[in-house]
């Protein structure tokens, strides 16, 4: 079979993670064009992935009559709604990086447009496609745990990742991107909704921007880490430590500059946002948040997102059922049976080419299902459709509303 041709819209780091699939599986996916208004980004992407065409806008690509079987939208959050609309108008199947859109109203409108179009449209809730969460879902659906009573789920963001993406980076301001619970954790809302197999009934949330504020800046700190900051050597969030290490040649350094020489990195820190002191970035998104949920089928769930964690593991889940308990972390799932107290242990560590896929193999898993769906002309294999993903987004918007208002939010399903 011919490879499925795709247009990449947005040439950032997520685009590169998906584009790597074409290098490992050239018979399945071919990139026909890249679109990005940043000439340096798209030129670099075009060269690295040997893409024949590059354009500054979707309209320019249309004018040049570039054809493709599908598209992958990995542009900034606030552009998702308009670019997804362009793809629908053009009749192109596409994957849309989360979040669907920046407001609940735009999400609902896009779902409505998608339903009418008949196109294959998937949202990049990649955790669903990872071996870890696929196994968790398989176990819960099998009845091994009995009826699920409660779920405890934790997302450990990691201290340096928070500083990079949500203090200095593109998602540091909810007005320019999205609230943290949507931008980072709608993945987790989706996983909880998926495992519970039921709509969320009501939700409450608490959290704040506790640490990364100007009043918490240490004595002797400066506007930038490169300005002779007296606290820099002891600061865990030092931009010099994070970006000037010559041993680090991939992400997150590639997010700050394409010139990875010592001079190029230092120039980026002196002139760009990634060199700013974390206490002087003007960010407004939370650095810790908890969400409590009750689902229609009676399951309760708690979700904790926190910046202040190390590099041990990204996510941990505990599922408590009437006949057993599941604890999952670091690609190891342990299931305890209440009938005989015996434990079954599953190692779902990604193997083979999936070890090179982000999100524990989830990125490549998503692409495999999208490509199969496009080839077959039906979206049955793609579990994270626009319609399905809408609920997790509504949960995230409700959680943010609860956090700000202090009220429990009842969802209309």
Q: Which domains does the chain have, with CATH numbers?
A: 4-126 (3.40.50.720), 128-212+284-350+384-410 (3.30.360.10), 214-275 (no CATH)
379 pLDDT more than 80: no
353 pLDDT more than 90: no
200 pLDDT more than 80: yes
Give the model's pLDDT for residue 412. Answer: 82
User: In percent, how much of the chain has pLDDT > 90?
Assistant: 90
Give the model's pLDDT for residue 355. Answer: 82
In 118-224, where does DSSP find H-type helix?
131-142, 159-161, 180-183, 186-196
229 pLDDT more than 90: yes
- Maximum alpha-carbon separation in the chain: 67
Give the whole-angstrom CA distance, residue 95 versus residue 124.
Answer: 7
Q: Which two tokens stand for residue 154?
A: 């934790």
Contact status, residue 101 vs residue 126, Cβ threshold 8 Å: no
336 pLDDT more than 80: yes
Choice among 34-43, 180-189, 307-316 with the minimum mean pLDDT: 307-316
Give the whole-angstrom CA distance, residue 99 versus residue 32.
Answer: 25
More confident residue, 93 or 311: 93
Mean pLDDT of 63-81: 93
Supply φ then ψ for residue 369, to 5 degrees: -70, -35
Residues pairing with 205 in the sheet: 291
Mean pLDDT of 345-359: 88
Q: Which residue has the tokens 């800046």?
A: 217
255 pLDDT more than 70: yes
Give the model's pLDDT for residue 360. Answer: 87
pLDDT digits (tens, 9 = 90+) for 258-281: 899 999 999 999 999 999 999 999
Give the model's pLDDT for residue 381. Answer: 78
Contact status, residue 365 vs residue 357, Cβ threshold 8 Å: yes
Q: Which two tokens stand for residue 58?
A: 């979707």
81 pLDDT more than 70: yes
| C-alpha count within 13 angstroms, C-beta hemisphere, residue 160 | 14
Q: Which two tokens stand for residue 219?
A: 């004595």
Give the model's pLDDT for residue 63. Answer: 86
User: pTM here?
Assistant: 0.94
CA angle 384, 33, 19 (to 5 degrees): 50
Phi-psi region of 192 (alpha: psi -120 to 50; beta: other; left: phi over 0): alpha
The whole-chain average pLDDT of the chain stands at 95
At 413, is the pLDDT very low, low, confident or very high (cuts 50, 70, 90)? Answer: low
pLDDT digits (tens, 9 = 90+) for 172-195: 999 888 999 999 999 999 999 999
Give the whole-angstrom CA distance, residue 310 versus residue 184.
Answer: 17
Q: Which residues of 61-123 form beta strands (DSSP E)?
A: 70-73, 93-96, 121-123
pLDDT digits (tens, 9 = 90+) for 116-139: 999 999 999 999 999 999 999 999
Question: Would you tell me how many other CB atoms lie within 10 Å of the CB of residue 164?
Answer: 25
Give the model's pLDDT for residue 357. Answer: 86
Mean pLDDT of 365-378: 93
Give the whole-angstrom CA distance, residue 355 versus residue 353.
Answer: 5
109 pLDDT more than 80: yes
């Amino acid at each position: 079979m011919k490879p499925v041709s795709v247009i990449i819209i947005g040439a950032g780091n997520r685009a590169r993670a998906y584009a790597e699939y074409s290098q490992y599986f050239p018979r399945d996916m071919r990139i026909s064009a890249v679109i990005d208004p940043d000439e340096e980004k798209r030129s670099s992407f075009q060269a690295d992935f040997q893409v024949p065409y590059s354009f500054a806008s979707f309209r320019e690509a249309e004018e040049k009559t570039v054809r493709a079987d599908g598209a992958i939208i990995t542009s900034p959050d606030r552009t998702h709604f308009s670019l997804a609309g362009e793809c629908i108008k053009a009749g192109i199947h596409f994957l849309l990086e989360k979040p669907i859109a920046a407001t609940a109203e735009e999400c609902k409108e896009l779902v409505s447009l998608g339903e009418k179009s008949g196109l294959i449209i998937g949202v990049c809730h990649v955790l669903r496609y990872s071996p870890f969460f696929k196994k968790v879902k398989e176990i819960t659906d099998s009845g091994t745990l009995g009826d699920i009573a409660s779920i405890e789920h934790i997302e450990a963001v990691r201290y340096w990742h928070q500083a990079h993406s949500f203090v200095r980076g593109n998602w540091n301001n909810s007005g320019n991107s999205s609230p943290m619970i949507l931008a980072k954790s709608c993945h987790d809302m989706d996983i909880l909704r998926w495992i519970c197999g039921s709509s969320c009934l009501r939700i409450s949330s608490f959290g704040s921007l506790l640490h990364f504020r100007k009043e918490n800046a240490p004595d002797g700190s400066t506007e930038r880490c490169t300005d002779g900051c007296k606290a820099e050597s002891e600061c865990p969030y030092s931009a010099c430590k994070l970006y000037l290490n010559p041993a680090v040649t991939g992400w997150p350094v590639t997010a700050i500059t394409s010139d990875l020489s010592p001079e190029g990195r230092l120039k980026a820190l002196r002139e760009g946002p990634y060199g700013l002191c974390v206490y002087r970035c003007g960010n407004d998104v939370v650095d810790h948040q908890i969400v409590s949920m009750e689902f229609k089928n009676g399951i309760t769930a708690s979700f904790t997102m926190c910046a202040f964690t190390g590099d041990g593991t990204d996510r941990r889940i505990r599922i408590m059922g009437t006949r057993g308990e599941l604890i999952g972390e670091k690609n190891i799932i342990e299931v305890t049976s209440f009938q005989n107290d015996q434990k079954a242990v599953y190692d779902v560590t990604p193997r083979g080419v999936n070890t090179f896929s982000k999100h524990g193999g989830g990125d490549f898993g998503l692409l495999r299902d999208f490509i199969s769906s496009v080839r077959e002309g039906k979206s049955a294999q793609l579990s994270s459709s626009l319609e399905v993903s809408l609920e997790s987004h509504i949960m995230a918007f409700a959680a943010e509303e609860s956090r700000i208002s202090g009220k429990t939010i009842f969802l209309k399903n």
